[in-house]
């Protein structure tokens, strides 16, 4: 769940807001790598501090720890929202670092084959003229050697046997 920018402005200090803006999309692309590493270090420290304070406030609300201020904390929603906002910023910066560190993948065999085919087609088209508007008749068709009517072999055997039987009756 994301937090609106006006809520973020209320939760964060001026330094944290600057770091948060630097971690957002168009700005993060222009940040050099050394500054990005320093940014993530600051964001992690701020996030860890907010989480620690939020846990302490949670313990104070449950009565498990002594109050750090004049009275025990009654609510820690703001601190937890601050930790959430900073955690999202850390996540964005981590993603950008991974994106920058990942080399561009090598082309697959299919892509290489397609490129070779396109290059071959380009050279072939340049070497041979087209057939023109009056091309020849083309290839001659060769008739198939297979029979067009197929008979069941059992039918052939039945007819042959019937002929043998008839001949035997005639001979007797």
Q: Residue 47, class by beta-carbon neighbours within 10 Å (0-12 exposed, 13-18 middle, 19+ buried)?
A: buried
Higher pLDDT, residue 156 or 115: 115
87 has a pLDDT exceeding 70: yes
pLDDT value at residue 24: 94
pLDDT digits (tens, 9 = 90+) for 22-80: 999 999 999 999 999 999 999 999 999 999 999 999 999 888 888 887 788 888 899 99
Report which DSSP code applies to 141. Answer: P
Enter the pTM of the model. 0.60
């Amino acid at each position: 769940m994301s937090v609106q920018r006006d809520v973020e402005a209320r939760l964060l200090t001026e330094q944290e807001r600057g770091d948060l803006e630097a971690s957002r999309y168009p700005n993060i692309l222009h940040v050099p790598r050394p500054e990005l590493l320093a940014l993530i270090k600051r964001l992690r420290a701020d996030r860890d501090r907010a989480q620690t304070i939020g846990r302490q406030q949670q313990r104070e609300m449950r009565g498990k720890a002594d109050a750090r201020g004049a009275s025990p904390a009654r609510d820690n929603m703001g601190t937890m929202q601050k930790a959430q906002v900073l955690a999202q910023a850390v996540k964005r910066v981590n993603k950008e670092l991974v994106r920058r560190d990942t080399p561009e993948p090598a082309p697959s065999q299919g892509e290489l084959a397609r490129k070779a085919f396109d290059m071959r087609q380009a050279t072939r088209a340049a070497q041979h003229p087209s057939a023109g508007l009056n091309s020849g008749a083309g290839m001659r068709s060769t008739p198939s050697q297979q029979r067009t009517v197929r008979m069941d072999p059992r039918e052939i055997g039945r007819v042959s046997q019937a002929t043998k039987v008839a001949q035997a009756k005639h001979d007797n």
